[in-house]
Amino acid sequence: MKKLLSIFAVVAFAFSAHAGTLDDVKNRGFLKCGVTTGLAGFAAPDDSGEWAGLDADMCRAVAVAVFGDRSKVEFITTTGKSRFPTLASGEVDMLARNTTWTISRDVNLGFEFVGVNFYDGQGFMIPSALGVSSATELDGATVCIQTGTTTELNLADFFRLNGISYEALPIETNDEGKENLFAGRCDVYTTDASGLSSTRAAASNPDKWVVLPEIISKEPLGPLVRHGDHQWGDVVRWSLNAMIIAEELGVTSENVDAQLGSNVPEVLRLLGVEGSYGEMLELAPDWAYQIIKQIGNYSESYEANVGPDTPLEIARGLNALWTQGGILYAPPFR
């Protein structure tokens, strides 16, 4: 399957090699961005039919960078199976579809991950009545686990490393895991931490459940583009980086206009007052200013979609800036 996909990618590349994606997008007048068919906090239609979420913001940020208008984006829904062929065939210009960055996807499938907009990882959720505060105390617990996934292997590794035993209750879907945990048929439910948070938020009484602090696998989720179009890859990469740098520099959608008169050189470079970074990317000089003005910095997007004040209540954790205990880090803007 993967070999087949990479053949498609090559064929698609041969077809699409005529002009840069950036020019295609500009000529078309809007960005085509692949998102999920619905995942809480990442991309889901709101009541008025607008797509909202961390990934949806990523798409909008790129649209703002290119057109200066957050509405110039068309969201194409993709599933776990259709996402890569959809990108390879050129039907979308980029994917922001909580996709884990792995070597085979980056290299073999012929895609280019331009960064990470959410560090996810496998976690554990238990009833708070269990009174357990760390996953290492889960000796002998019954664990609901999706079969045939990497989570199953990670789980076995984790328990073996810690010398504790568990009993697996195999399930097929997330809904099944949720029902089994809520009905008490298993003590622990394990899947990606963001998934656990949405499962918890969907419970009739979320306070009865806790997500343990241990994260036992690496799931860096990020936007990706087709291999070989570096100009376009740069546009997407720096749209994401601009949001992260804006947070570092304390530039928000509210104070961005005041920051135009800042005396910090990097802020002036970011907002396009100094330097010609927009020109280098073949974008408007104020592209990053517009992203921050219309979408906000990374922190604003995070807090609005998945942060502690949303029903998902995902703490910043790994996704905090490198200066604040996380690993979120963007190269300097110069």
Partner 1 sequence: MNEKIESRKPPVATTGIIGWLRINLFFNWTNSLITIFVIYCLYQFVPWILDWTVFSADFKYNYLGQQITNQEMCSRNLDPENGGACWAVIYVRFYQFIYGFYPREEVWRVNISYVMLAIALLPLLITKLPYRKIFLNFTYVFPIIAYFLLNGGFGLPDISTNKWGGLLVTLVLGCTGIALAFPIGVLLALGRRSKLPVISMMCVLFIEFIRGVPLITLLFFGMVMLPLFLPEGIDMDGLVRVLVAVTLFQSAYMAEVIRGGLQAIPTGQYEAARSLGMSYWRMNFQIILPQAIRISIPPIVNTSIGLFKDTTLVIIVGLLDLLGIGRGTLADTNWLGLSYEIYFFVSLVFFIFTFGMSRYSLYLEKKLKTGINMGAD
Interacting residues with partner 1 (CB under 8 A):
8, 11-12, 15-16, 18, 36-41, 43-47, 49, 52, 74-79, 81-82, 85-86, 89-91, 175, 198, 201-205, 305, 310-312
Nearer to partner 1, 109 or 312 (CB): 312
The minimum distance between CB 164 and partner 1, in angstroms, equals 32
Residue 170: which H helix or E strand, with range? Answer: strand 166-171
Q: Residue 193 and residue 312: Cα distance in Å, rounded?
A: 10
Q: How far is the CB of 10 from partner 1 (least distance, A)?
A: 10
Cβ nearer to partner 1, comparing 250 with 311: 311
Distance in Å, CB of 159 to partner 1, minimum:
30
Q: Which is nearer to partner 1, 175 or 254 (CB)?
A: 175
Kindly tell me which of 25 and 76 has the beta carbon lying closer to partner 1.
76
* Alpha carbons within 13 A on the beta-carbon side of 140: 1
Contact of 330 with 247, CB cutoff 8 Å: no
> Min. distance of Cβ 76 from partner 1 in angstroms?
6
Token duo for residue 202? 């969907």
The nearest distance, CB 42 to partner 1, in angstroms, is 8
Q: Give CA angle at 236 (96, 307), nearest 5°.
A: 50
The CB-of-201 to partner 1 minimum distance in angstroms stands at 5
- Choose between 83 and 237: whose C-beta lies nearer to partner 1: 83
Q: Least distance in Å: CB of 15 to partner 1?
A: 5
Q: Let me know how long the chain is.
A: 334
Q: What is the nearest approach in angstroms of partner 1 to the Cβ of residue 129?
A: 16
Q: How far is CA 9 from CA 3, 181, 227, in A?
A: 10, 41, 9
State which residue, 3 or 18, has the beta carbon closest to partner 1: 18
Name the 3-class secondary structure at 29. Answer: coil
Report CA-CA distances (Å) from 174 to 78, 221, 320.
18, 19, 27
Q: Which of 131, 126, 299 is CA-nearest to residue 199?
A: 126
Query: Whose Cβ is closer to partner 1: residue 69's or residue 286's?
Result: 69
Given the complex with partner 1, which of 192 and 234 has the nearer CB atom?
192
User: Which residue type does 78 have?
Assistant: T
- Under a CB-based contact definition with an 8 Å cutoff, are residues 233 and 225 in contact? yes
Decide if 68 contacts 110 (C-beta within 8 A).
Answer: no
Q: Around Cβ 177, how many Cβ atoms within 10 Å?
A: 24
Angle at 43 between CA 37 and CA 47, to 5 degrees: 90
Distance CA 282, CA 231 (A): 9
